[in-house]
Amino acid sequence: MLKHIKTKISDLNIDIEYKYDIIATLCRDYISDFDKADIKVNYSEAGCANEEKLSGHAGAPAEFANIYRQIAELLPRFSRVVTHGATVAYKGNAYMFIAKSGTGKTTHINLWRKYFNGVSVINGDKPILYADDDRVLAYGTPWAGKEMMQLNAFAPLKGICLIKRSETNSIRKLEPQEAFKAIIKQIYMPENSECVSLTMGLIDDIIRLVPFYELSCNISREAAECSFNAMIN
């Protein structure tokens, strides 16, 4: 028997129809109440089957991924995009780290948590970014990777950092064209042509409003200090 849960994710009212009880558990930090939904997610047997083909995971994991995908497809209509990145908050601002899977995003944000007091994780895997004319906000979501590091919180995004592995630590600011090449690989791109166009506009806004950096680093305290000093200051 299918069930419903009302959630508020990135300040949007989202009604989710689901099959597996664990979905409600995974979304528990985002439970809300409202009369009108901005987005309605319907259970899809075909969608879950497709997720299983893509990931090899069946059942609840496939359903959870399909819910995320249905939401991500529609977010550009609300000036929002899903990104693949680890995002932390410090003194009221957000900082996001992007990289190829396995490069060390989670390791790096854990270095921030270890060495700098007051750092919290907004989302460790798939935050939502909202952009308007003069600001970008980073929101937590239930989709937080295997570590499940997330908060139902948001903060102004003040820096995006591309991580690359290196034996030594250095950081540099990226030019807009370099920033585009870095972020385009980490943004969920919808199938709908209208939403693709909206997504490209949001990427332009993000690049215009948020400084981008490239960090070459190892996994030392010096690596964390390198990104921290550049992005915070």
Two tokens at 2? Answer: 């299918």
pLDDT at res. 2: 95
Q: Answer yes or no: is pLDDT of 99 > 90.
A: yes
In the structure, what pLDDT confidence band is assigned to residue 101 with cuts at 50, 70 and 90?
confident
Length of the chain, in residues: 233
- 28 and 133, same domain (yes or no): no
User: Using 50, 70 and 90 to split pLDDT, how confident is the model at 218?
Assistant: very high
Name the token pair of 181.
């090449």
Question: Do residue 178 and residue 216 come from a single domain?
Answer: yes
pLDDT digits (tens, 9 = 90+) for 54-75: 888 899 999 999 999 999 999 9
- Residues 44, 73, single domain; the answer is yes
The domain boundary, picked from 26, 43, 77, lies at: 77
Confidence of residue 229 (pLDDT cuts 50, 70, 90): very high
Among 159, 129, 158, which Cα is nearest to 141's? 129
Q: Are residues 98 and 37 in the same domain?
A: no
Which of 10-19, 100-109, 128-137, 175-184 is the least confident region? 100-109
User: What is d(CA 175, CA 155) in angstroms, rounded to the nearest whole number?
Assistant: 24
User: Residue 150 pLDDT more than 90?
Assistant: yes
* Same-domain status, 100 and 179: yes
Whether residues 59 and 109 share a domain: the answer is no
Give the residue from 77, 97, 129 where a domain finishes: 77
What is the DSSP code (8-state) at residue 188? Answer: P
Residues with Cβ within 8 Å of residue 5, at least 6 apart in sequence:
15, 16, 18, 23, 24, 27, 31
Same domain, 172 and 158: yes
Alpha helices of the chain — where are they, by DSSP H? 22-26, 45-55, 60-74, 105-115, 176-184, 193-209, 221-232
Q: Which domain holds residue 144?
A: 80-232
104 plus 162 within the same structural domain = yes
Could you count the other beta carbons within 10 Å of the beta carbon of residue 197? 12
Asked if residue 52 and residue 105 are part of one domain, the reply reads no
Average pLDDT over residues 142-167: 95
Same domain, 21 and 59: yes
The pLDDT tens digits of the residues spanning 9-52 come to 999 999 999 999 999 999 999 999 999 999 999 999 999 999 99
**Whether 222 and 116 share a structural domain:** yes
Question: Number of structural domains, the chain?
Answer: 2
pLDDT at 225 (0 to 100): 97
The closest of 226, 90, 83, 78 to 158, measured between CA atoms, is 90
The structure tokens listed for 111 are 């270095």
Are residues 136 and 209 both part of a single domain?
yes
Instruction: Assign residue 112 the CATH number of its domain.
Output: 3.90.228.20
Q: State the Cα–Cα distance between residues 34 and 28, nearest whole angstrom.
A: 16
Question: Amino acid identity of 209?
Answer: L
Which of 77, 92, 127 finishes a domain?
77
Across residues 157-172, what is the average pLDDT? 96
pLDDT score recorded for residue 22: 95
